[in-house]
Amino acid sequence: MAFHHKEPEGEQADSHEIALQLDNYDDLFSVFDNRPYSKRALSVDFLDEVRRASLDKSDEKLELVISMPKELRSEAHDQTIKERLSDHFHKHYKRLQVEKRRIMRLGFLMVFLGLVSMVGATFVISKNSDAQSFGYSFLLILLEPAAWFLLWEGMDQIIFNSQSLKHDLEFYRKMSLSHERVHFQSY
């Protein structure tokens, strides 16, 4: 398996093109998957190379140009693989969007429950200022740490965990927008 990332030269140097040179179609896919091209899992190496090459490219008119030996090219395979790539990028983009929404909802729920616990702890303190009641003391001991835990963990979900998906989400967004601009060429 060989990937050769070719940077555009001259007038194309500032283009939005990701140019990869492959030895054959199988370089795009996992070596452990022998299903037809329309269903095969994409190679991690291929995806990593595309991801690396896309880092400094804007999503505006991003093009993926895959070069193959002329004698191995097939228009039917080209079309099938273009559809497979499009399906893959759209599916993973949607999955990451769902995951980010799930993380955000969990974070906001935790913050809300933390605030409710703080209100509950405040209520317990205001109703029993002498702190002699076992029940009130127990509720206070339970609610205060729960409130802080939920508040800070919820904020962690919202601020940091949702951001951990940022790079993958950006990559799959770029690639899902470029589905009409995947091209095969011969060398």
Question: Residue 17 to residues 5, 14, 123: CA-CA distances in angstroms?
Answer: 11, 9, 61
Q: Check residue 13 and give its pLDDT.
A: 46
The count of structural domains within the chain is 2
Confidence of residue 78 (pLDDT cuts 50, 70, 90): very high
Summarised one tens digit per residue, pLDDT across range 44-73 is: 999 999 999 998 887 777 899 999 999 999
Q: Check residue 55 and give its pLDDT.
A: 87
| 10 and 39 belong to one structural domain | yes
> Does 54 reside within a domain?
yes
- Tell me the helices (H) and strands (E) count for the chain, helix number first: 4, 4
Distance between CA atoms of 120 and 122, rounded to whole angstroms? 5
> Does 9 reside within a domain?
yes
| 40 and 58 belong to one structural domain | yes
Of 65, 58, 59, give the one whose Cα is nearest residue 82: 65
Confidence of residue 4 (pLDDT cuts 50, 70, 90): low
> Does 138 reside within a domain?
yes
| 17 and 61 belong to one structural domain | yes
Residue type, 113: L
> Does 105 reside within a domain?
yes
| 102 and 124 belong to one structural domain | yes
Confidence of residue 24 (pLDDT cuts 50, 70, 90): very high
> Does 174 reside within a domain?
no
Q: Check residue 11 and give its pLDDT.
A: 47
> Does 171 reside within a domain?
no
| 17 and 84 belong to one structural domain | yes
Percent of the residues in the chain that have a pLDDT greater than 70, as a whole number: 89
Distance between CA atoms of 89 and 82, rounded to whole angstroms? 11
Summarised one tens digit per residue, pLDDT across range 83-94 is: 999 999 999 999
Structural domain boundaries enclosing 123: 96-166
Taking 50 as the threshold, does the pLDDT of residue 14 lie above it? no
| 11 and 70 belong to one structural domain | yes
| 100 and 83 belong to one structural domain | no
Q: Which of 9-23, 53-67, 148-162 has the highest mean pLDDT?
A: 148-162
| 71 and 13 belong to one structural domain | yes
Taking 50 as the threshold, does the pLDDT of residue 23 lie above it? yes
**Structural contact between residues 46 and 87, judged by C-beta atoms closer than 8 angstroms:** no
> Does 172 reside within a domain?
no
| 16 and 85 belong to one structural domain | yes
More confident residue, 181 or 11: 181
| 58 and 138 belong to one structural domain | no
